[in-house]
Amino acid sequence: MRNAPTILHLDMDAFFASAEQASKPSLRGKAVVVGGLGLRGVVATASYEARVFGVHSAMPMAQARRLAPNAAYLVPRFGLYREISEQVMGLLRTLSPLVEPLSLDEAFVDLEAGGTAWDEASARRAGAKLRADIRAVTGLTGSVGLAASKMLAKIASEQAKPDGLVVIEPGTERALLGPMPVRTLPGVGPATGDHLRRGGITTVDEIAEAGEDELVRLLGKAHGHALYAMALARDERPVVAERETKSVSVEDTYDVDIHDRVRVGLEVQRLADRCVERLRRAGLSGRTIVLKVRRYDFSTLTRSETLRGPTDDPAVVREAAGRLLDAVDTTGGVRLLGVGVSGLADYTQEDLFAQARAREAVEETAAQELPAVETGEEPAAEQVTAAERRWPAGHDVRHAEYGHGWVQGSGLGRVTVRFETPDSRPGRVRTFRTDDGALEPADPLPLVPRRPEEAPGVSAGAPGRT
């Protein structure tokens, strides 16, 4: 391990919820919950005000509503979050060429590799400047941890939350880790934690005292060795700039179980197309098609088929996913479907036989297309119209008379909109018919207005809201 705290871990504070609060003045300082709002939705992020009531990420949304009935419940705006994430990752890359993103709002940075820090004082300066730059560019806050290893830097950023900076000085690691619960260490989830607890081990110190042999006996060779090393604060993992993508997948959970076999097939086709879109955006192809089906009783089945070569052809992926579905019994109902592609490559080797079979299947379907209504599918033009008139809670709209706003809620043919922008005062609320021609979906506004001539980098002195 290093002798200076030059590995930085950044974790944005309640990222999705904080972005929503920054863009909606009426929600600042209030409980905000972002996630799926359907019957089976889960919480993606909760603001710190919502966490006071016990709401946390991955919690069923129904439970969150019981705990915090007066919170604002919003549908995620991933386009906005990705845009902010790109700004933040750009700032990290000015510190070092070795930036390892873990998610949209979290990353490791090797400050030493960028010549940005070489001792504790320079690391502190880099961390403080990064936090100021993030606030200036995005209007949001992030917590920074600095240590001599990735594991400890992440622990430090957790201690820094919210909106803080914590440095773990080399030489103090064992004393810091000792009294912490075992769940603090990476890779110790609920199951491993319970297994250790049954063995009388509840703290990191007790892991070290138990010894490597006992951990191997309890957890197996690989996990036991790794956990013992972490308990002794040993972590030699480097910051890796490019993490290899192993698979690309998409999945949907349905509010009501799907029983109609035709509908299940159509959903699988749609998911296959979405998966290929994501594959192509990443400039990748793959040779193994994976189907995931979670049935009414929560049993989950995964089926896969490996093609002759990698492909990014939607017809090929649809046809393979359809074959996999043929082997799955969905009689009792389906609550989740997913389609993925693995065995990735950055080139394609078209499976001509699969394409030919797919074209034949399409032609057969077209020949039987007359009773389209029997499948429950509307004509394409009507589908577009219906999609255009959906008003997800929290999403941006623009009214011809009142300007920019966001959807507070909709139902019974009405949509309620609050008209405000990131730089305005809390706005007024108005209600319209959902088919009001003056109201239309809009793109999110930037959280921090920027002058056109301002370069994409950042200045720590740039104006930002507090």
DSSP string across 320-333: HHHHHHHTS--TT-
For residue 427, is pLDDT > 90?
A: yes
Active-site position among 106, 112, 173, 267: 106
Residues facing residue 45 across a β-bridge:
34
**What average pLDDT score do residues 380-388 get?**
40
Angle (CA) 350-352-355 rounded to 5° is: 95
**What average pLDDT score do residues 359-367 get?**
41
Query: The tokens 């009142």 sit on which residue?
Result: 402
Active site residue 106: yes
Q: How far apart are the first and last CA of the chain?
A: 37
The predicted structure's pLDDT at residue 389: 65
The predicted structure's pLDDT at residue 357: 47
pLDDT band at 308 (very low <50, low <70, confident <90, very high): confident
Give the separation between CA 354 and CA 103, rounded to whole angstroms.
Answer: 35
361 touches 295 (CB < 8 A):
no
More confident residue, 387 or 392: 392
Q: Is 403 left (phi over 0), alpha (psi -120 to 50) or beta?
A: left
**What average pLDDT score do residues 50-75 get?**
94
**What average pLDDT score do residues 104-109 get?**
93
For residue 397, is pLDDT > 90?
A: yes
The amino acid occupying position 157 is S
The predicted structure's pLDDT at residue 355: 41
**pLDDT tens-digit series, residues 171-190:** 899 999 999 999 888 878 77
For residue 84, is pLDDT > 90?
A: yes
211 half-sphere exposure, CB direction, 13 A CA radius: 3
DSSP SS3 for 279: helix
Q: Is 420 left (phi over 0), alpha (psi -120 to 50) or beta?
A: beta
The predicted structure's pLDDT at residue 279: 85
The whole model's pTM is what? Answer: 0.72
The predicted structure's pLDDT at residue 154: 95
Sheet strands side by side (includes 32-35): 43-46, 32-35, 72-74
Q: Find, among 92, 155, 165, the residue nearest to 125 by Cα.
A: 165
The predicted structure's pLDDT at residue 430: 95
Identify whether 162 is preceded by a cis peptide bond (ω within 30 of 0): yes
